[in-house]
Structure 1
Amino acid sequence: MADHPSTHKPSHDLVDHIVGLRPGGRTYEVRHQREKVVAATQGSYDALFDPHLPDLSLTERLLVALHACVLTPAPELAAHYRARLVTDGCDAALIQFAESAAHETASSNARLNAMLTFTRTLIEDPVEGDKAALLALPAAGISTPAVVALSQLIAFLSYQVRLVAGLKAMKASEEEETHA
């Protein structure tokens, strides 16, 4: 049985906000037909970016998210993660480094270099996310639980980026029909 969209709404839904979905719109209503999925998506975001999550700092997770969104590209999500980093007082040089798609200059932070390289590998060529790619992470001082958390984060970001892209396309189609 599908949840009724108006029975329960999260107080803040990042995807709805990023895409600009509002109650009453066809794309909003389609998305909210399965409220459990909407809630799980927001819940995953909340859990993955919980400041108290161990193994990876919030700043590291936000830098990985920014980097993944720049590589994809997903400009609205990149802007969101950039704004969170700025609000949290992240060093501007680290933000600029994460925004760099080229990585000509490596950061002096081997841990961050390894995380962003792994992110790039999984975003651009997931087949290359093999044993060698994984072993580069502990070599940079990243614990096994942190490697697992990083992999989960990148998988979520990949889902989030695709969800936003699909909803943006649906909303654009809806708006074209409205203006036709």
Structure 2
Amino acid sequence: MITDVIDHLAGITPGSPLDRLRDRRPDAREHAQRAFDALFSPDEEGEVTLVERDAVAAFVAGLHQDHAAAGFYTGRLADLAPGLVPAVSAEVAAGRVKGPYGVYPDGPLAAESEVGPRYRVHDPEALGERLTAAFEHAHLLVFRPREASGDDLDALAEHGWGPTGVVTLSQLVAFLSFQTRVVAGLRLLGQKGTATS
């Protein structure tokens, strides 16, 4: 059983310099793990099933091109719904782009606008209506956050996502973005040997 997912993904072993480094911020370490537990092992599934949570996580980790995280969440999904794994993997491959990008409305930031492709699920039948909408929304949040609008929330609602489900979905995407960045930073520190006790 994994007691700290960030340690697991970053390859941190007990007593190592990175372990001691993380011990300097015990609250941050504890809260990151609690966030994972709340999102992926809730007392009740609520509006978002465990399968949907792990499918979205595998997709988002794949978009971030973090192989360890993508493998971890794909493995979790394979335990619950192995038939979904090929469809999710295909969507990761189809959804990878360089980013972030997006268009700012008129104003001081408009000059920083960069138009990019709009992702649409390639095999909606394989994912089903709810996951199709979730993947398209997750891709928006990962690569085009500046373009997110009320219309995008309406699109989720039209495909079976209630308010609580939308919040959970957004939290999943935000957590995965946070987690992959923390893990990447810890790995880099480990490679450079800059984590000292």
1:62 aligns with 2:81: no
1:77 aligns with 2:96: no
Measure how far apart 1:104 and its partner are: 5.9
Measure how far apart 1:112 and its partner are: 0.8
Q: Which residue of 2 aligns with 1:111?
A: 130
Q: What's the C-alpha RMSD, in Å, of the aligned pairs? A: 2.1
CA contact (8 A) 2:10 2:183 kept: yes
Number of residues paired by the alignment?
167
Three-state SS of the structure 2 residue aligned to 1:101 is helix
Q: Which residue of 2 aligns with 1:5?
A: none
Q: Which residue of 1 aligns with 2:8?
A: 17
**CA-to-partner distance for each residue in 1:23-71, whole Å, 9 max, x for gaps?**
3322221112111111111111011012532110111111110111111
CA contact (8 A) 2:121 2:136 kept: no
Moved over 6 A (4+): none
Percent of aligned pairs with the same amino acid: 31
CA contact (8 A) 1:67 1:101 kept: no
CA contact (8 A) 2:133 2:156 kept: yes
CA contact (8 A) 1:56 1:146 kept: yes
Given the alignment, which residue of 30, 33, 47 partners 2:21?
Answer: 30
Structure 2 stretches lacking a partner, 5+ long: 96-119
**CA-to-partner distance for each residue in 1:100-139, whole Å, 9 max, x for gaps?**
4335623221211110000001011111222122211001
Q: Which residue of 1 aligns with 2:175?
A: 156
TM-score (norm 1): 0.84
Q: How does 1:33-44 map to 2 (within 5 A)?
A: 33-44=24-35
Mapped partners of 1:148, 1:19: distance in 2: 27
1:95 aligns with 2:95: no
Three-state SS of the structure 2 residue aligned to 1:53 is coil
Mapped partners of 1:129, 1:166: distance in 2: 27
Mapped partners of 2:7, 2:89: distance in 1: 27
Structure 1 stretches lacking a partner, 5+ long: 1-10
TM-score (norm 2): 0.77
| Higher relative contact order, structure no. (Cα contacts within 8 Å, ≥ 6 residues apart) | 2
Letter in 2 for 1:135: D
**CA-to-partner distance for each residue in 1:124-164, whole Å, 9 max, x for gaps?**
11112221222110011111110011111111111111111
Mapped partners of 1:101, 1:170: distance in 2: 31
Mapped partners of 1:36, 1:59: distance in 2: 29
Three-state SS of the structure 1 residue aligned to 2:193 is helix
